[in-house]
């Protein structure tokens, strides 16, 4: 066993895996193991380890680095986030095992988590970039959101457990990343912003829009103060693994007690980033329309599934005197409007801020990239500004689908 923290390598992770008693059911003593580092996220090392003789005997070992991988050692980050992630996976696994990877162990010295290798699934963002639809995704993610959010809220937990859980999931440094990268930096001149110069007129106009910045400030306040449920905290399509039959939500290291709409909005915002990217990614009009129809149907269906499941989990034990129908309807309406506001912030940060997404930043031609980015911003701005007018999910989709890119700008 390792007694002090050290970053693993594809070589040392094999020796590490051999020493973990929890893996005795997967690997045989002395057999040949192989590994590769596959982490393409912004923060961690991710190793796949497998038995050379039988690659299906495999797991993922994820190790937290003490700094932000995307930026380098100058940006320090607590490795405690690995503990948060392992504990959040445990909660999600209890509430929604069918969409949560299995955890084999958590090592608080090496800040490593051993978990199921989802080797028959791909990162959803990659599939969406290629125009692949996932017919069960809306049902799966709607169930995941409702069970994990309602199931960790005051609607289900007793008064004491809820407060103890809030304390267990205090995650200040990771929340600060979100406060800065999602709610602060994109809306002002900031050295970490990373948009390209073609987009500058639109970004400067957005940053000069006082009314928009006021709405973003409201969403930031909600993010910082509303301990509604244990949220995943980073539920973009890069944190979701899919195939045609199954969906898994991975990577809850940003988990904390926050507003439910942040998770729902993350999913919706990322589906609309894909929608915007196919403005240029899919040249054939019919194919583009069909894929966009899949994306918007998914937004509508996931919300409907969420409401259906929330009725079962969140409202099942609601006292009709304390929580009359009008209160419950108002609660769900606030969630819908919050989701629109957070979706918008998540879209704007991915276009303007430090950590972009491949859907848009991966578009090679800079003019095409500007068209997709311009559309993403044009969807986001009315989503946040008009969110108070939303009464149903169709209204949210109607706002998004009515937008066009501004780029190329009239000269």
- Determine the Cα–Cα distance for residues 234 and 252; give it in Å rounded to an integer: 7
3-state secondary structure of 106: strand
Contact 258, 174 (CB under 8 A): no
Residue 273's binding partner out of ligand SR1, Mg ion, none, with CB under 5 to 8 Å set by partner kind: none
Write down the least CB distance from residue 354 to ligand SR1, Å: 6
Q: Tell me: does residue 251 bind Mg ion (CB under 5 A).
A: yes
386 — alpha (psi -120 to 50), left (phi > 0) or beta? Answer: alpha
- Determine the Cα–Cα distance for residues 332 and 337; give it in Å rounded to an integer: 9
Residue 355's binding partner out of Mg ion, ligand SR1, none, with CB under 5 to 8 Å set by partner kind: ligand SR1
Report residue 286 as tokens: 């019919």
With the CA atoms of 16, 18, 22 and 23 taken in that order, what torsion angle do they form, in degrees rounded to the nearest 10?
120
Write down the least CB distance from residue 297 to ligand SR1, Å: 26
Write down the least CB distance from residue 310 to ligand SR1, Å: 25
- Please state the φ and ψ torsions of residue 249, each to the nearest 5 degrees: -100, 125
Residue 177's binding partner out of ligand SR1, Mg ion, none, with CB under 5 to 8 Å set by partner kind: ligand SR1
Write down the least CB distance from residue 275 to Mg ion, Å: 22
Write down the least CB distance from residue 402 to ligand SR1, Å: 28
3-state secondary structure of 177: helix
Residue 68's binding partner out of Mg ion, ligand SR1, none, with CB under 5 to 8 Å set by partner kind: ligand SR1
Write down the least CB distance from residue 25 to ligand SR1, Å: 32
**Measuring CA to CA, which residue among 92, 140, 148, 144 is closest to residue 301?**
140
Query: Which residue, 68 or 352, is less far from ligand SR1 as judged by CB?
Result: 68
Residues that bind ligand SR1 (CB under 6 A): 41-43, 68, 70, 177-178, 181, 234, 355
Q: Tell me: does residue 41 bind Mg ion (CB under 5 A).
A: yes
Residue 381's binding partner out of Mg ion, ligand SR1, none, with CB under 5 to 8 Å set by partner kind: none
Residue 380's binding partner out of ligand SR1, Mg ion, none, with CB under 5 to 8 Å set by partner kind: none
- Please state the φ and ψ torsions of residue 320, each to the nearest 5 degrees: -65, -15
Stretch that binds Mg ion, among 45-53, 246-254, 271-279, 309-317 (CB under 5 A): 246-254
Report residue 196 as tokens: 């390209």
> Which positions ≥6 away from 358 have C-beta within 8 Å?
125, 126, 129
Site for Mg ion, rule CB under 5 A: 41, 251
């Amino acid at each position: 066993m390792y007694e002090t923290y050290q970053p693993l390598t594809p070589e040392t992770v094999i020796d590490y895996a051999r020493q973990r008693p929890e893996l005795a059911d997967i690997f045989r003593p002395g057999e040949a193991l192989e590994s590769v580092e596959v982490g393409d996220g912004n923060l961690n090392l991710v190793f796949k380890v497998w038995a050379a003789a039988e690659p299906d005997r495999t797991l993922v070992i994820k190790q937290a680095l003490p700094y932000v991988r995307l930026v380098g050692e100058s940006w320090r980050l607590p490795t405690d986030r690995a503990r948060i992630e392992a504990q959040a996976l445990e909660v999600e696994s209890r509430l929604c095992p069918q969409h949560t990877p299995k955890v084999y162990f958590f090592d608080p010295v090496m800040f490593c988590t051993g978990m199921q290798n989802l080797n028959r699934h791909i990162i959803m963002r990659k599939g969406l970039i290629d125009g692949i639809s996932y017919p069960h995704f809306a049902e799966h993610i709607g169930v995941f959101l409702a069970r994990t959010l309602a199931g960790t809220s005051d609607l289900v937990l007793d008064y004491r457990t809820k407060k103890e859980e809030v304390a267990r999931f205090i995650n200040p440094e990771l929340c600060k990343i979100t406060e800065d990268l999602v709610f602060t930096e994109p809306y002002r001149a900031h050295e970490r912003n990373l948009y390209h110069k073609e987009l500058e007129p639109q970004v400067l106009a957005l940053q000069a829009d006082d009314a928009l910045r006021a709405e973003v400030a409201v969403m930031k306040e909600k993010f910082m103060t509303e301990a509604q449920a244990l949220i995943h905290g980073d539920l973009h399509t890069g944190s979701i693994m899919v195939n045609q039959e199954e969906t898994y939500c991975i990577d809850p290291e940003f988990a904390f007690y926050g507003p439910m709409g942040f998770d729902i909005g993350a999913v919706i915002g990322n589906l609309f980033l894909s929608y915007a990217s196919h403005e240029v990614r899919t040249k054939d009009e019919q194919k583009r329309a069909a894929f966009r129809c899949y994306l918007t149907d998914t937004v509508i269906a996931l919300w409907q599934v969420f409401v259906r499941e929330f009725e079962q989990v969140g409202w099942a034990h609601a006292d009709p005197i304390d929580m009359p129908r009008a209160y419950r309807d108002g609660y769900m309406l606030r969630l819908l409007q919050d989701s629109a506001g957070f979706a918008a912030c998540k879209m704007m940060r991915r276009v303007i801020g430090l950590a972009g997404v491949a859907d848009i930043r991966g578009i090679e031609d800079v003019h095409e990239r500007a068209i997709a980015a311009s559309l993403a911003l044009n969807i986001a701005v009315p989503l946040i500004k008009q969110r108070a007018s939303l009464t149903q999910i169709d209204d949210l989709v109607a706002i998004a689908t009515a937008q066009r890119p501004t780029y190329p700008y009239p000269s």
